[in-house]
Structure 1
């Protein structure tokens, strides 16, 4: 099976390689910390229906072998640039002398349909051995189809009183498409489910794994497009995480717009102020590194933060 290596990843950082209606391989444009750069890697599909991350081959002919427990990759010696690779006997090879047919590519995305009208599609990015949403959640319904309460920024009393899950209403459609909604912590803990099917809000352990695989530096995670961060704060987005400076919502105000953003985690703990809350991942415009909150630094459920989910 011949696979033409793509050069355009505008439709998604992860592409499915399809043959006769079946996925036979995966192409990922990903950041690998051990070589500190972004590369295109092709992985065959394993017997479990997932990409076999121990059998990767880059577009320059280097082997990529991931240690799934350590979340680290060993990258072999590079050769010449490849335009085509081949899937044969569960492996990715750089040349093949027999007859072959051409595979097709399609973006690996999340199709998230909830209720009657809540329809969203999200790009996916591979960082280390994890797969993440490359966009902020935009859902207005829980996974079971029931509505999430929509509360405007001026309705602080209603926001603080909500314990069933709410998102901060937005009338700026264009900004919503890149920034998503900000949700209170009760959306994360709701049994109705906030994550798309097959995905979950990350635990502290999963957030820490992301931070490490992404090289720690905030610049690696921040969106590089104009208007996503204040001047001088834009990142290189080498991980493809594409974090947008949405700010955070608390006490009736959005603070840190264009200079800061938080993402909810799912780990419940109690802060040093004895307030129960959830873990977070913070990407700040002036901080050197991204930060994962510790047990004493959890955020109360009444904060409004963005949500990114990780594949189960």
Structure 2
């Protein structure tokens, strides 16, 4: 019985061995290739170390996913890619010719590659530390931006994962990771360097940076696909995590600039306000009134609106680019989602992906804001009238100063395009305007006896003369006594009309004083006046009048005295002497039959010479030039008044060539008295009533 039991056990063992051997002999080997005479094809001849390369193997089986091969003297791993492709990572090997070797079913095939010199990858520790520092800094910036705060927690997960995976790598693996990223263009740094040409007030350089970032964030999906297909190891996983972090960081940078662009309100239209007098609505076409040659301030208002859907069809290229660029962010988001999903699946990552909600949409019709434009940069162009030219245009605070000149007299309407530049944006408004020529034409009528001669200044020749007596030319002779008008018109249409009077033939004669000084005389109305200032140094009875020179004595004088202007005797011939009031009124100072005029005498003459009696009394020359039109002397009366000045405050001398002063026989009070004044810049006869009696003024005698 025991013997039989051992025999049974032995039989069972033999059966087990027999079945086991049979199973080994009949198990089929995995066919790695369907075609024993397979071929290899390479997509390129030159490669870099760390480059992900695929080779095509004809008839490759789908049953095996990883293969062994050699590149030069180094063993490599290959993984099954799409179709008949095997994917591998070129090892860090010497540059020059290297042979790739693959053995399938004991059938060895080779391909020759030229390995290029590896570019400088930098210090891997420094590069990876820089990536981590930049990513953490971006998290801080995101947390402060309401438009990006929802991404902070998600981005933090990727930053943490990156930091953990990099910490696991050896020094060699870190170098390989940097090599894989850089050689295969899996890491892109956004380095927009704005020129400022896209800058406008509220965005600085955001527009230009955004457009450059939009081009720079584009990544090569084919390289992402190769990384997905490459053999899986710690380096590939670290490269994948870094690539995703980079794609996300670049998207965040892009969105940050996009938010600046969409937050900016763009200048759309402009309106104007005439010198602050009233605010014109942006669409208001009330004409602006200009005066030729005069700068005019226009306050400029702008209507601002954020980017919107309508800008995609804008005629302004920049707005089209920016609005279309905002829409393209959605396309970029889709690509990042696809690439991230593939890498997450390949390397079993659980961190969050971007979502469709991360795309940006432009509003249809955002709210508009109207506000003054600070320091507007403007141009005035396309002036509708060839009679109007732009003289100057300048920027002011919230306004522009604009100066037009007209070549035609009168008021004329015109339009011009006011173009404002806000960075690269130009906004145009056609302005309705009118301009009034600031005429420079001036006319003086010089009357002598029955003749009238015109002195024309300013204006633009030729001139047209229209006389009330139907005369022609710029002068008339043989005029009868009476009132006349003359109208002068220049080539610009400017007109000046003057009235003048031809007096009855004046009785011209002479009179001699006690000193023997002879004076011309002139008839004005019914009065006969001296045509020169008094020069006598004696009263009519021969009594001497003291010549007081010192200022103190002059001011203390309460009896008759005279002086020469500036105590210079040479002024006597032209201007006569300056007498105090006591000399003018105490005794008979005029020749016999003549007297110092009373207030009534002066008023009678003034009334006869109206209007512009002062001009008619003043000599044509000898007066300071006036900037006020219509104040030049004409001497129509023949009175020939000269600006002999005055001896006044402190006994000093004043106003030679500017003012003439003449006493009247009247007292205002115990210490003051009135005199007549003619001024270089006035056309009237004035009376000053409260003048110290010791003042020195001229005397004109009138016939009794």
TM range (shorter): 0.5 to 0.7
Query: Normalising by structure 1, what TM-score?
Result: 0.60
| 2:700 is the counterpart of 1:308 | yes
Deviations 1:14-68 (A, max 9, x none): xxxxxxxxxxxxxxxxx9775532345389xxxxxxxxxxxxxxxxxxxxxxxxx
Query: Normalising by structure 2, what TM-score?
Result: 0.28
| 2:245 is the counterpart of 1:245 | no
| 2:543 is the counterpart of 1:151 | no
In 2, distance between residues paired with 1:216 and 1:260?
20
* Alignment counterpart, residue 161 of structure 1, candidates 547, 553, 556: 556
SS at match of 1:283: strand
Please say if residues 222 and 241 of structure 1, whose CA atoms lie closer than 8 Å, have aligned partners that are also in contact. Answer: yes
Matching residue of 2:571: 175
In 2, distance between residues paired with 1:169 and 1:260?
16
Structure whose residues are more often helix by fraction: 2
* Alignment counterpart, residue 284 of structure 1, candidates 679, 686, 697: 679
- CA gap of 1:216–1:172, structure 2 versus 1, over 3 A, is farther
Please say if residues 32 and 39 of structure 1, whose CA atoms lie closer than 8 Å, have aligned partners that are also in contact. Answer: yes
Q: How does 1:33-72 map to 2 (within 5 A)?
A: 36-39=500-503, 41=505
SS at match of 1:131: strand
In 1, distance between residues paired with 2:611 and 2:690?
20
Compute the displacement of 1:309 (Å): 0.9
| 2:659 is the counterpart of 1:263 | no
Please say if residues 281 and 292 of structure 1, whose CA atoms lie closer than 8 Å, have aligned partners that are also in contact. Answer: yes
Deviations 1:75-123 (A, max 9, x none): xxxxxxxxxxxxxxxxxxxxxxxxxxxxxxxx621021x2xxx220001
Matching residue of 1:223: 619
Matching residue of 1:108: 509
In 2, distance between residues paired with 1:201 and 1:260?
20
Compute the displacement of 1:175 (Å): 3.2
Deviations 1:126-171 (A, max 9, x none): 111111110000001111111111022xx11111122221111366
Please say if residues 522 and 639 of structure 2, whose CA atoms lie closer than 8 Å, have aligned partners that are also in contact. Answer: yes
Superposition RMSD on alpha carbons, in Å?
A: 2.6
Deviations 1:209-248 (A, max 9, x none): 11111225221111113xx211236411111111111111
Please say if residues 38 and 239 of structure 1, whose CA atoms lie closer than 8 Å, have aligned partners that are also in contact. Answer: no
- CA gap of 1:253–1:126, structure 2 versus 1, over 3 A, is same
In 2, distance between residues paired with 1:197 and 1:129?
19
* Alignment counterpart, residue 130 of structure 1, candidates 527, 531, 534: 527
- CA gap of 1:309–1:150, structure 2 versus 1, over 3 A, is same
Compute the displacement of 1:299 (Å): 2.0
Higher Cα Rg: structure 1 or 2?
2
Deviations 1:152-206 (A, max 9, x none): 2xx1111112222111136655532120001000101213x11111001111111
Q: Gaps spanning 5+ residues in structure 1: where?
A: 1-6, 9-30, 44-106
Number of equivalent positions: 206
Please say if residues 122 and 134 of structure 1, whose CA atoms lie closer than 8 Å, have aligned partners that are also in contact. Answer: yes
Please say if residues 207 and 292 of structure 1, whose CA atoms lie closer than 8 Å, have aligned partners that are also in contact. Answer: no
Matching residue of 1:51: none
Deviations 1:273-293 (A, max 9, x none): xx5333211101112311134
Structure whose residues are more often strand by fraction: 1
Please say if residues 216 and 290 of structure 1, whose CA atoms lie closer than 8 Å, have aligned partners that are also in contact. Answer: no
